[in-house]
Amino acid sequence: DAGVIQSPRHEVTEMGQEVTLRCKPISGHNSLFWYRQTMMRGLELLIYFNNNVPIDDSGMPEDRFSAKMPNASFSTLKIQPSEPRDSAVYFCASSDRVVNIQYFGAGTRLSVL
Protein backbone atom coordinates (compact mmCIF):
# COMPACT_ATOMS: atom_id res chain seq x y z
CA ASP A 1 0.00 0.00 0.00
CA ALA A 2 1.17 3.52 -0.76
CA GLY A 3 0.31 4.79 2.68
CA VAL A 4 -1.73 7.88 3.47
CA ILE A 5 -1.55 10.29 0.55
CA GLN A 6 -2.02 14.02 1.00
CA SER A 7 -2.18 16.71 -1.60
CA PRO A 8 -0.91 19.24 -2.23
CA ARG A 9 2.38 19.00 -0.33
CA HIS A 10 2.70 22.77 -0.26
CA GLU A 11 0.09 25.47 -0.66
CA VAL A 12 0.66 29.18 -0.73
CA THR A 13 -2.38 31.39 -0.87
CA GLU A 14 -3.51 34.86 -0.04
CA MET A 15 -5.66 35.84 2.86
CA GLY A 16 -9.34 35.46 2.10
CA GLN A 17 -8.92 32.68 -0.43
CA GLU A 18 -10.46 29.24 -0.10
CA VAL A 19 -8.07 26.39 0.55
CA THR A 20 -8.85 22.72 0.10
CA LEU A 21 -6.56 20.00 1.43
CA ARG A 22 -7.02 16.41 0.31
CA CYS A 23 -6.36 13.05 1.86
CA LYS A 24 -6.55 9.47 0.68
CA PRO A 25 -6.38 7.04 3.62
CA ILE A 26 -4.87 3.59 3.55
CA SER A 27 -7.23 1.16 1.88
CA GLY A 28 -9.28 -0.76 4.42
CA HIS A 29 -8.83 1.75 7.22
CA ASN A 30 -12.10 2.95 8.66
CA SER A 31 -10.91 5.91 10.74
CA LEU A 32 -9.46 9.15 9.43
CA PHE A 33 -7.94 12.02 11.36
CA TRP A 34 -7.01 15.60 10.50
CA TYR A 35 -4.29 17.28 12.58
CA ARG A 36 -2.69 20.70 12.55
CA GLN A 37 0.91 21.23 13.64
CA THR A 38 2.39 24.60 14.60
CA MET A 39 5.42 25.62 16.60
CA MET A 40 3.27 27.34 19.18
CA ARG A 41 0.56 24.73 19.72
CA GLY A 42 2.22 21.50 18.64
CA LEU A 43 0.09 18.74 17.15
CA GLU A 44 -3.64 19.34 17.47
CA LEU A 45 -6.44 16.99 16.47
CA LEU A 46 -8.98 18.89 14.39
CA ILE A 47 -11.52 16.21 13.55
CA TYR A 48 -11.82 12.50 13.11
CA PHE A 49 -14.14 10.28 11.11
CA ASN A 50 -15.19 6.73 11.71
CA ASN A 51 -16.76 4.87 8.79
CA ASN A 52 -17.00 8.22 6.94
CA VAL A 53 -19.00 9.83 9.76
CA PRO A 54 -17.54 12.75 11.73
CA ILE A 55 -17.21 11.60 15.34
CA ASP A 56 -15.37 14.41 17.07
CA ASP A 57 -14.93 17.87 15.56
CA SER A 58 -14.30 19.68 18.81
CA GLY A 59 -10.83 20.59 17.64
CA MET A 60 -11.99 22.49 14.59
CA PRO A 61 -10.95 26.06 15.41
CA GLU A 62 -13.93 27.91 13.98
CA ASP A 63 -16.61 27.89 11.32
CA ARG A 64 -14.12 28.77 8.63
CA PHE A 65 -12.93 25.17 8.83
CA SER A 66 -14.94 22.29 7.46
CA ALA A 67 -14.14 18.66 6.69
CA LYS A 68 -15.89 16.03 4.65
CA MET A 69 -15.45 12.38 3.92
CA PRO A 70 -17.76 11.49 1.02
CA ASN A 71 -16.43 7.94 0.80
CA ALA A 72 -13.97 5.59 2.45
CA SER A 73 -11.10 6.61 0.20
CA PHE A 74 -11.22 10.38 0.24
CA SER A 75 -11.47 13.29 2.63
CA THR A 76 -11.10 17.05 2.36
CA LEU A 77 -10.35 19.80 4.82
CA LYS A 78 -11.48 23.21 3.65
CA ILE A 79 -10.66 26.63 5.01
CA GLN A 80 -12.81 29.49 3.79
CA PRO A 81 -11.80 32.24 4.07
CA SER A 82 -8.19 31.58 4.95
CA GLU A 83 -6.23 33.80 7.34
CA PRO A 84 -2.48 34.14 8.02
CA ARG A 85 -2.90 32.43 11.40
CA ASP A 86 -4.01 29.29 9.58
CA SER A 87 -0.46 28.84 8.31
CA ALA A 88 0.67 25.45 9.59
CA VAL A 89 1.36 21.90 8.52
CA TYR A 90 -1.81 19.86 8.21
CA PHE A 91 -1.58 16.10 8.59
CA CYS A 92 -4.01 13.39 7.74
CA ALA A 93 -3.81 9.98 9.41
CA SER A 94 -5.81 6.78 9.14
CA SER A 95 -6.22 3.68 11.26
CA ASP A 96 -8.33 0.61 11.77
CA ARG A 97 -9.62 -1.04 14.92
CA VAL A 98 -7.67 -4.23 14.28
CA VAL A 99 -4.16 -2.84 14.15
CA ASN A 100 -4.90 0.20 16.33
CA ILE A 101 -2.13 2.32 14.85
CA GLN A 102 -2.47 5.73 13.25
CA TYR A 103 -0.50 6.06 10.03
CA PHE A 104 0.32 9.60 8.99
CA GLY A 105 0.62 11.23 5.61
CA ALA A 106 3.53 13.48 4.72
CA GLY A 107 1.49 16.58 5.42
CA THR A 108 0.49 19.76 3.60
CA ARG A 109 2.44 22.87 4.45
CA LEU A 110 0.03 25.80 4.18
CA SER A 111 1.20 29.38 4.00
CA VAL A 112 -1.42 32.11 4.01
CA LEU A 113 0.02 35.48 3.06
Partner 1 sequence: AQSVTQPDIHITVSEGASLELRCNYSYGATPYLFWYVQSPGQGLQLLLKYFSGDTLVQGIKGFEAEFKRSQSSFNLRKPSVHWSDAAEYFCAVGAEETGANNLFFGTGTRLTVIP
Residues in contact with partner 1 by the rule CB under 8 A:
4, 31, 42-43, 45, 48, 50, 55-56, 91, 93, 95, 97, 99-107
The DSSP secondary structure of the chain, one letter per residue, reads: ----EEE-SEEEE-TT--EEEEEEPPTT--EEEEEEEETTTEEEEEEEEETTEEEE-TT--STTEEEEEEETTEEEEEESS--GGG-EEEEEEEE-TTT---EE---EEEEE-
State which residue, 63 or 98, has the beta carbon closest to partner 1: 98
| Residue 74 or 103 having the CB closest to partner 1 | 103
CB of 46 to partner 1, least distance (A): 13
Report in angstroms how near the CB of residue 24 gets to partner 1 at its nearest: 14
